[in-house]
Amino acid sequence: MYSEIQYLLGAFSGVLIGFTLGLVGGGGSILAVPLMVYVVGVESPHLAIGTSALAVAANALAGLFNHARPRNVNWRCGGSFALAGVMGALGGSTLGKAFDGEKLLFLFALLMLVVAVLMYRGRGGAGIEGVQCNRENLPKVALFGVGTGMLSGFFGIGGGFLIVPALVASTAMPIYRAIGTSLIAVATFGLTTAANYAASGLLDLPLAATFIAGGIVGSILGAMAARRLAGAKGLLNTLFAGLIVVVATYMLYRNWVSFTA
């Protein structure tokens, strides 16, 4: 059972998660686990992963609604990507539950740095408007979906920070449209992972509820900011990469402190 202050911190963290999820698609999933562990004070990394997966999935659905209104979602591409990745998320989350929690956080931080570099290098790509998923690119979309689903499930995250570049790479859609479309898979992978962790008793519903409540407010603000920034070429990618580096560096520092203590 957590204190009232911890639940308040959970709600505040949810606002941050929802805002970044609405702004850069995967920012919420990047922040969720570190906030659970280092701000709210959840001692078990696996419990933090299971709980945050549910919160991120719910916030992704709220963000998806906000991105769908201005038609920034490619439903066919997003649905195909998510469907292909469900089994990957299930298998990855099963493996993640059996993995040491601290090592999981360490590997997660390293992966974040790799993705940050890739996103920064691709910050100038404008993408192709009106791109569609068809027989030519669907196999590539499905392949990326399975791969990101496995990584998403293994690390217990929605996986948007992997899904956005994967959608851009497999379809060449613009970054702002990939952000909106990614939320379909973020929600799908998050729910799959949360259900798997819940089956092992590694999910705290009241704490997840505070994250979700705060995240709904944050996602509205984030989606509004994303629409305003959509015209600035490369800016979203740069913000995305910078956010990942900051959080990953802090996680590596905390992991090193824990290891040397």
pLDDT per residue as tens digits for the range 125-166:
556 676 778 888 888 999 999 999 998 888 877 777 778 888
Higher pLDDT, 186 or 31: 186
- 154: nearest Cα among 193, 208, 199, 109: 193
Cβ pair 147, 159 in contact under 8 A = no
What gap in Å lies between CA 194 and CA 219, rounded to an integer? 20
104 vs 9, 113, 149, 157, 225, CA distance in Å? 24, 15, 16, 12, 32
Domain of 52 in residue numbering reads as 4-260
Q: Is the pLDDT of residue 234 over 70?
A: no
The pair of structure tokens assigned to 195 is 């259900």
* Helix (H) or strand (E) run with residue 114 in it: helix 101-121
Of the segments 35-49, 104-118, 127-141, which one has the largest average pLDDT value? 35-49
3-class SS string, 44-94:
CHHHHHHHHHHHHHHHHHHHHHHHHCCCCCCHHHHHHHHHHHHHHHHHHHH
Q: Is the pLDDT of residue 124 over 60?
A: no
Cβ pair 185, 21 in contact under 8 A = no
Total structural domains within the chain: 1
Q: Is the pLDDT of residue 25 over 60?
A: no
- The 10s digit of each residue's pLDDT in 46-67 is 999 899 889 888 878 877 887 8
Looking at residue 173, what DSSP letter applies? -
As a residue count, the chain comes to 261
Where do we find the tokens 């505070």?
A: 210
Q: Is the pLDDT of residue 39 over 80?
A: yes
How does residue 27 score in pLDDT terms, banded at 50, 70 and 90? low
Q: Whole-model pTM?
A: 0.79
247 vs 106, 145, 260, CA distance in Å? 12, 25, 20
Q: Whole-number mean pLDDT of the chain?
A: 83
- The 10s digit of each residue's pLDDT in 71-91 is 889 999 999 999 999 989 999
The pair of structure tokens assigned to 169 is 């790479």
- The 10s digit of each residue's pLDDT in 235-253 is 766 777 787 788 888 888 8
Mean local confidence (pLDDT), 207-218: 89
Cβ pair 85, 186 in contact under 8 A = no
pLDDT at 81: 94
